Each structure stands twice: as C-alpha cells, then as structure tokens.
Amino acid sequence: MSINNSILKLLNMKDSNLIFDENFCQERNIKNKRSLIIKGYLKNEFEYCPCCGCINNGTIIKYGSKTCLVKIPKISELDSYLELKKQKYLCKNCNKRMTAVTKEVDYRCRISNNTKHSIIYYSKDILPHTFIAKNHNVSNVTVQRELNKVYDNETLYKKYLPEAICIDEFTAMKRTMAFNFCDAKTGKTIDLVLDRKLENLIKYFRYYLKETRDKVKFVVMDMYKPYITLVKEVFENAKIVIDLFHIVQLISKSLNKTRIQAMKKDKMNYRKMKRYYKLLLKPRLELDCSKWKKYICFKHLMTEVDIVDYILNQNEELKNTYNLYQNILYSLQRKDYSLFNEIIENEYEGISKYMETSLNTLREFKEYIKNTLEQPYSNGIMERNNNTCKLIKRVAFGFRNFSNLKARILISTNIFRKERSSKISFTTP
Ligand SMILES: [Zn+2]
C-alpha cells in the first residue's frame, strides 16, 4: 500500500484527490494548545469546464492556490487539523476561476464531515453538549446545529404509525409536560409533543392521515382519563391497554396508606409495621415460610409469613385490605380476567377507604384491564425511554429550547436504539 493510501486510511477518508507528501505531519501551537497538523494537497481533474461546458484540452490551467485549516477528529487526544493546500484553476474560455473541492469537507466549511458524523454518534449517549463540543474542538452551537440537521424535516414523520404504540409524558421544560409516544414493539420513540393538553393533542394527531391512524390497533397507557378520550377521538380502531405496572401500583399504594394509618394509631407496633412494609406488598406465595431467623423488633425466631401474620393480627381493617390486595394481585399474576372481574365486582366490608377508592377506579377501567391481561404489551419500554429523556435533560442542566431537546432525544432513542421485542414481566413496585 502506498503511503498516500495509508494516510487516507488513518484519517478515515476516501477521496483520492487528497495527496500527502513525506513530511505530512507537524506539531504547532494553535489557540495556546499543542495541536497536530496534517498537511495535504488537493487537486481536481476536469474533463470539461463546469461553468461553460467546453472540453478541457488545455483550456483549464492551474492558477495559484489557497491554504485553509480544517478541523478533523482528535488523533492521540491532540486537537488535529488538516492543512489543505487547494489548487485553483482558470478556464481560458469563460475566464471563470475555480477551486478544487473534496467530498470530505463541505464547500466553504472549516469542519470535516468526519467530525460532524462523530458529533452525531457521540450524541447517542447521555453526555452534555459542552463535553461533545470540547471533545471535537468545536462550539456548542455547532453541535446543536449538526443535531438539528438530522431532525429538521417534520413532515417526514407524519406518514407512518406502528400497529401498537405506548404513550406517556415527562417534565421537559419548567413546569411543562411533554407528551411522548413510542413503538410498543421496538421501543423507538416516534415523536415528542410539548403540550399534553387534550385539545392540542387531538389537533396534533389530526395531522396524520386517517388511514394511517386507523392502522393503530393497540394503545398502551397509564390510567389518565384524557388519554382515553384522545384515543377514542383519533384512533378509531385501537384497543386501550392499561399498563399492568400502574394497576399494581394503584392497589399497593392504597395498601401502604392503610398500613400507615394503622401504624400511627398503634404506637406499640409502630416500628414493626414500618420496618417490614415490603413483606406486606410481596405476593403471599413468594413469602418464605420455612426459614426461621432472628428478625429485628421480634424476640423469637420467626419466618416471613409469621411476621406478616403478626402485623395483620394487630389491625382488622389492615387485614381485610391485605386479603383483597393479595386476591387482586393473584388474579393479575395468573392473567385470569374472569377471576379479576369477580373479585372487583364483590362488595367488601371493613376495608379501608383508600382501597375503596382504588376499587372504584379499577371498576371504571375494567374493560381496558381486560385487554391488559390478554395482550402482551406493557409500558416498560416507554418508562425506559422516559428515563433516558430525563437523564439527557439532567446532564445538560436543562434545555431552554424544546426542539433542541427533542433532536437529542430522538437521535438517542430512535436512530441509535437497537430493536428489541418487548417482553412483559410481572413486577411489584
Ligand atoms: Zn469555462
């Protein structure tokens, strides 16, 4: 391999118009920093003149040259530049002057395309803009400009919607919630909308064609009523699936509130009830009943089941609520809708008012919970995306401009997100 090809490989460039001589590498101080300069010569060969179109048989002649410094990605952690000596040409036929061009650097740009690609590649990870800018020896504005180029054409994304989508929201700017929706199968974010008000969301989804919207069959969401109105309004063929995690969270929160209420009344067992709250929330079948151990707050050797039973025996209301909680949990775990329906339709006496409220909510969302137990979709993938969004925001100490945040999130959770089939798993919060 000739030395020219080796240098091109080293710089990850392919343009054979770039020519390097023996002393191609130099060190120099630029902006008070030790930097690496790669010297190159750029020429073009013309078959005809690009301006007047005359065939080049000696009509285009060399006409001086000009040198410019182009930023390239760091080499050995040193700021690196490509010092290009560009050949200038003159067409004798039309008297136009031309400068040699290359694919590696845009016309009149001082930043190589390699650097620009690298900036986009870096932005897939949770790193602040300032770090990416510093690492590529460019300004923050350059980083943002390159990221915005990837997502400038808004109309492009209005033509397709997947079969199943997840919807959720997160705090994007100061006191403003952003609406976020993604593909339930691959986990790729489709779009972000700054407003989650119902009328604005309906307006937003009306931009999609009706045939596109009608192809959506499932919408996974948490128990937020305006979203149900939204789905009925814009996705006519879609079934609503309530996320399983949020159902379990609802009933476990009400059990916890009941326990705290009981705890405050009973000063004798306060510490016991507080310390072992996780055992109450655990599915009863997963409790350990064979290992006798010494537990803090208890004098005798006990098992986990003993502790739960001891706590329940202190308070009748807590016991009733706990039994109902465990029954609902069991039916959800077994994905048995008829059992679930039977449990929530019964009337209960002696349960806490918190559980009563949750029970009413469950009755209200009953038909959607049926879909949850029959379909394999969950909002887990969405929560993961939301976490990435929050981290990107946090690491950058917040964004002032929503479109900048959106570009960054979409690059990291759409373009560079590996496709992964969503697996449903049963978890207790
Ligand atoms: Zn010409």
Distance between Cα 17 and ligand 1 center (Å):
21
Å from CA of 66 to ligand 1 middle: 20
Mean residue pLDDT across the chain: 88
Residue 250, Cβ neighbours under 10 Å: how many?
A: 20
Weakest mean pLDDT among 103-112, 147-156, 303-312, 344-353: 147-156
Q: Is the per-residue pLDDT at 426 higher than 80? A: no
List CB contacts of 388: < 8 A, sequence separation 6 or more. 126, 409, 412, 413
> What separation in Å is there between the alpha carbon of 61 and the centre of ligand 1?
11
CA of 383 relative to ligand 1 center, distance in Å: 61
- Around ion ligand 1, which residues have CB less than 5 A away? 49, 51-52, 91, 93-94
Q: How confident is the model at residue 399 (pLDDT cuts 50, 70, 90)?
A: confident
Tracing tokens 């079934």 back to the chain, one arrives at 239
Cα 89 to ligand 1 centroid, rounded to whole Å? 10
Q: How far does residue 63's CA lie from ligand 1's centre (Å)? A: 14
Q: Report in angstroms the alpha-carbon separations of 266 from 271, 281, 315.
A: 10, 20, 9
For range 119-129, the mean pLDDT = 91
Q: Give which of 85, 100, 96 is closest to 59, Cα–Cα.
A: 96
Average pLDDT, integer, range 320-332? 91
Residue 237 token pair = 């063929």
Q: Tell me how far the alpha carbon of residue 266 lies from the centroid of ligand 1, in angstroms.
A: 97
Is the pLDDT confidence value at 135 over 90? yes
Compute the distance from residue 42 Cα to the ligand 1 centre, in Å. 20
d(CA 319, CA 336): 24
DSSP letter at 417 equals: P
pLDDT for residue 362 is more than 60: yes
Topology, domain 154-243+378-415 = Nucleotidyltransferase; domain 5 (3.30.420)
pLDDT reported for residue 157: 61
The pLDDT value given to residue 190: 87
Beta-carbon neighbour count of residue 71 at 10 Å?
A: 22
Q: How far is the CA of 87 from the centre of ligand 1 (A)?
A: 16
Judged against a pLDDT cut of 90, whether residue 67 lies above it is answered with: yes
Residue span(s) of the chain under CATH 3.30.420.10 come to 154-243+378-415
β-pairing, 25-30 vs 33-42, is: antiparallel
Q: Which amino acid is at 102?
A: T
- Give the distance (Å) from ligand 1 centre to CA of residue 102: 20
pLDDT of residue 8: 92
Residue with tokens 């005359």: 54
Q: Torsion angle, CA of 340/343/346/348, rounded to 10 degrees?
A: -140
